[in-house]
């Protein structure tokens, strides 16, 4: 009878599992063999019919920080039980000397639900059938740090419901020698021979290769993936946008996140009762207000109250400096352009800023309370509205976005104003390219003599279309698998 040829390591593995099932991780530790190498060998054994496999789905359970705190100090209802064990009975109102209101509510709710107490005529007493198994399970988890269970017991489900434990589902693989292999093994039909992955010319000439076990090569196996450092997909996109704008002749500027309402709203001719300035739309900063100074304050006051130029009547209300003094998180990067214009009054310019802004908003697929904006201005004596539309079209095409439409819209600080909408393959048409020409009231207040084209691109939405991302939150993803496997393309294709 032909004997079964085994390498020394194969013999060691199979002889260990000849009579009983071994869990793979346990076997790996016992033999000091990497788990990946062991799985590779097990696959060969399986194909040859040498082993049996079985799998078990288990749960790993451990306490979270709140659960550990309860394990150390006792569940609220457990502390209540101890009080009653000492006193025998007590009125509910007398419990306030032992618990704060919140903890007392938790203690009573869970004690009654677990049927640890009885209540009659305003008096609390312990139940005759006191079940403290939950406390025992809590203690066990604390002492062992982590336990494995096949099924979720009532106690674990209760701890899970109260958000005191962390649960992890795991699959365990067990192996044992098959009956057919065991018969051969007991009969002594096993030959331990040397295993080789490379043959020498001498091995071939002498014929010794016939005595060896040749380590098989799996030509279909993929090599391990190597993950090198790379930019976050959104940061990479912003770098590409910046590169495009620099190629188009723009220079970059930046400004502070925290600033007075004056520079965020008032200079831009946004009235002080505008909904955008409401506390439900703008983040207030808990810092003392600033003191505004200079002629610019007087000119902005006149702009709001009377218009400040011919054929403008302003907003016809009393402008209040104490409102303009309040500090907020900026809601748009147009504040950077305004600051640039104020400090460079007679200069022709093309300026942009890519930075974060903050608005009170509920997160969804296209909204986030913290978002990037790509904002800029073009200043020159011959610029007009058509130049702005041409810029939007050129810029979008350089990013690989070909479908773009324009529709008129309203902004307090530009006239005429436009909203460029771009096409997203999954979400359809989305707003992304707002802009317009700064109103003459603003130019007069800032003492600017040239027309100014202003735009505040929703760069997050533009990125969604350019990168084929369906949810704006993925742009800020920290999911390593998603970031590693996402294919970053060159926008300028």
In 208-235, which positions are buried (b, 16+ CB within 10 angstroms) versus exposed (e)? eeeebbeeeeeeeeeeeeeeeeeeebbe
Instruction: Using the predicted structure, report yes or no on whether residue 26 has a pLDDT greater than 90.
Output: no
Residue 205 pLDDT class (50, 70, 90 cuts): confident
Residue 243 pLDDT class (50, 70, 90 cuts): very high
What local confidence, expressed as pLDDT, does residue 280 receive? 60
Lowest mean pLDDT among 51-65, 227-241, 448-462: 227-241
Alpha helical stretches, state H, 24-132:
24-31, 35-48, 65-73, 76-87, 101-113
Greater pLDDT, 490 or 337 = 337
- Please state whether beta strands 165-177 and 89-91 pair in parallel, antiparallel, or not at all (unpaired): unpaired
Distances, alpha carbon 158 to alpha carbons 32, 139, 161, 261, 444, in Å: 39, 14, 5, 51, 68
Residue 187 pLDDT class (50, 70, 90 cuts): confident
If we measure between CA atoms, which residue out of 385, 470, 459 comes closest to residue 425?
470
What local confidence, expressed as pLDDT, does residue 491 receive? 45
Cα 266 to chain centroid distance, Å, stands at 35
Percent of the chain with pLDDT over 90: 24
Element (H, E) at 392: helix 385-398
Lowest mean pLDDT among 156-160, 224-228, 234-238: 224-228
Question: Which pair of tokens denotes residue 121?
Answer: 């005529």
Contact 409, 420 (CB under 8 A): no
Q: The whole model's pTM is what?
A: 0.51
Instruction: Using the predicted structure, report yes or no on whether residue 217 has a pLDDT greater than 60.
Output: yes
What local confidence, expressed as pLDDT, does residue 456 receive? 84
Interatomic CA distance for residues 89 and 119, integer angstroms: 10
pLDDT in tens, 331-341: 888 899 999 99
Residue 434 has, within 13 A of its CA and on its CB side, a CA count of 18
What local confidence, expressed as pLDDT, does residue 419 receive? 93
* Omega of the bond leading into 390 within 30 degrees of 0 (cis): no
Instruction: Using the predicted structure, report yes or no on whether residue 2 has a pLDDT greater than 80.
Output: no
Instruction: Using the predicted structure, report yes or no on whether residue 40 has a pLDDT greater than 60.
Output: yes
What local confidence, expressed as pLDDT, does residue 417 receive? 94
Distances, alpha carbon 89 to alpha carbons 75, 92, 95, 115, 117, in Å: 19, 10, 11, 15, 10
What local confidence, expressed as pLDDT, does residue 16 receive? 87
Greater pLDDT, 244 or 359 = 244
φ/ψ of 106, rounded to 5, equals -65, -45
Distances, alpha carbon 70 to alpha carbons 35, 52, 103, 167, in Å: 37, 44, 12, 17
Instruction: Using the predicted structure, report yes or no on whether residue 95 has a pLDDT greater than 70.
Output: yes
Taking residues 322-326, what's their average pLDDT? 92
Instruction: Using the predicted structure, report yes or no on whether residue 486 has a pLDDT greater than 80.
Output: no
φ/ψ of 397, rounded to 5, equals -65, -35
Taking residues 261-279, what's their average pLDDT? 86
Cα 107 to chain centroid distance, Å, stands at 35
DSSP 92: G
Instruction: Using the predicted structure, report yes or no on whether residue 428 has a pLDDT greater than 50.
Output: yes
Taking residues 268-286, what's their average pLDDT? 83
- The angle at the Cα of 277, spanning 273 to 280, to the nearest 5 degrees, equals 115
Instruction: Using the predicted structure, report yes or no on whether residue 476 has a pLDDT greater than 50.
Output: yes
Instruction: Using the predicted structure, report yes or no on whether residue 490 has a pLDDT greater than 70.
Output: no
What local confidence, expressed as pLDDT, does residue 492 receive? 45
Question: Which pair of tokens denotes residue 375?
Answer: 């904002």
List Cβ neighbours of 57 (8 Å cut-off, separation of 6 or more).
Answer: 150, 169, 170, 171, 172
- Please state whether beta strands 117-120 and 147-149 pair in parallel, antiparallel, or not at all (unpaired): unpaired
List Cβ neighbours of 361 (8 Å cut-off, separation of 6 or more).
Answer: 367, 368, 369
Taking residues 211-239, what's their average pLDDT? 73
Beta bridge partner(s), residue 428: 424
List Cβ neighbours of 344 (8 Å cut-off, separation of 6 or more).
Answer: none
What local confidence, expressed as pLDDT, does residue 493 receive? 41
Question: Which pair of tokens denotes residue 281?
Answer: 């739309």
Contact 449, 346 (CB under 8 A): yes
- For 133-189, give the DSSP string: HHHHHHHHHHHHS-EEESS--HHHHHHHHTT-EEEEEEEEEEEEE-HHHHHHHHTT-
Interatomic CA distance for residues 379 and 346, integer angstroms: 9
What's the chain's average pLDDT?
A: 85
pLDDT in tens, 298-320: 999 999 999 888 888 888 999 99
What local confidence, expressed as pLDDT, does residue 150 receive? 86
Residue 196 pLDDT class (50, 70, 90 cuts): low
Based on its alpha-carbon atoms, the radius of gyration of the chain, rounded to whole angstroms, reads 36
Q: Is 336 exposed, middle or buried (0-12, 13-18, 19+ CB in 10 A)?
A: buried
pLDDT in tens, 102-115: 888 888 888 888 88
Contact 366, 474 (CB under 8 A): no
SS3 106: helix
pLDDT in tens, 378-388: 999 999 999 99
Residue 279 pLDDT class (50, 70, 90 cuts): low
- For 424-476, give the DSSP string: ETTTEEEEEEEEEEEPHHHHHHHT--S-EEEEEE-HHHHHHHHHT-S-GGGGG
Distances, alpha carbon 251 to alpha carbons 159, 243, 263, in Å: 58, 11, 21
């Amino acid at each position: 009878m032909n004997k079964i040829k085994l390498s020394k390591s194969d013999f060691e593995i199979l002889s260990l599992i000849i009579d009983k099932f071994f869990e793979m991780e346990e076997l790996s530790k016992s033999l000091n063999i990497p788990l990946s190498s062991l799985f590779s060998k097990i696959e060969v054994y399986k194909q040859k019919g040498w082993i049996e496999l079985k799998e078990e789905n288990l749960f790993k359970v451990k306490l979270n920080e709140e659960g550990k705190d309860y394990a150390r100090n006792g569940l609220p209802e457990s502390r209540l039980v101890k009080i009653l064990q000492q006193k025998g009975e007590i009125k509910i109102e007398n419990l306030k000397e032992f618990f704060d209101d919140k903890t007392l509510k938790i203690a009573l709710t869970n004690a009654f639900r677990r049927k640890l107490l009885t209540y009659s005529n305003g008096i609390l007493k312990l139940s005759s059938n006191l079940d403290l198994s939950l406390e025992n399970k809590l203690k066990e988890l604390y002492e062992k740090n982590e336990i494995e269970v096949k099924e979720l017991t009532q106690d674990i489900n209760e701890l899970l419901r109260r958000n005191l434990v962390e649960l992890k589902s795991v699959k365990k693989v067990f192996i044992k020698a098959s009956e057919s292999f065991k018969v051969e093994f007991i009969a002594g039909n096993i030959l331990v021979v040397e295993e080789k992955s490379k043959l020498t010319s001498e091995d071939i000439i002498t014929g010794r290769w016939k005595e060896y076990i040749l380590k098989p090569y799996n030509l279909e196996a993929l090599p391990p993936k190597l993950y090198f450092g790379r930019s976050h997909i959104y940061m990479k996109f912003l770098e590409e946008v910046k590169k495009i704008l620099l190629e188009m002749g723009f220079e970059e500027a930046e400004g502070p996140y925290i600033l007075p309402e004056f520079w965020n709203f008032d200079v831009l001719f946004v009235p002080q009762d505008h909904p955008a300035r409401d506390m439900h739309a703008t983040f207030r900063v808990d810092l003392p207000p600033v003191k505004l100074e200079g002629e610019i304050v007087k000119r902005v006051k006149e702009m709001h109250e009377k218009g400040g130029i011919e054929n403008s009547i302003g907003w016809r209300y009393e402008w209040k400096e104490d409102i303009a003094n309040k500090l907020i998180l900026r809601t748009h990067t147009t504040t950077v352009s305004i600051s640039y214009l104020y400090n460079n009054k007679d200069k022709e310019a093309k300026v942009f800023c890519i930075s974060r802004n903050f608005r009170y908003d509920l997160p969804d697929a296209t909204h986030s309370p913290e978002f990037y904006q790509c904002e800029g201005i073009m200043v020159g004596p011959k610029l007009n509205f058509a130049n702005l539309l041409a810029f939007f079209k050129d810029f979008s095409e350089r990013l690989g976005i070909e479908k773009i439409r324009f529709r008129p819209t309203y902004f307090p600080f530009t006239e005429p104003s436009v909203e460029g909408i771009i096409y997203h393959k999954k979400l359809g048409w989305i707003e992304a390219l707002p802009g317009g020409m700064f109103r003459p009231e603003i130019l007069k207040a800032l003492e600017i003599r040239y027309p100014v084209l202003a735009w505040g691109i929703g760069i997050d939405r533009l990125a969604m279309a350019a990168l084929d991302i369906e949810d704006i939150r993925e742009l800020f993803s920290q999911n390593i698998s998603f970031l590693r496997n996402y294919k970053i393309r060159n926008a300028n294709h």
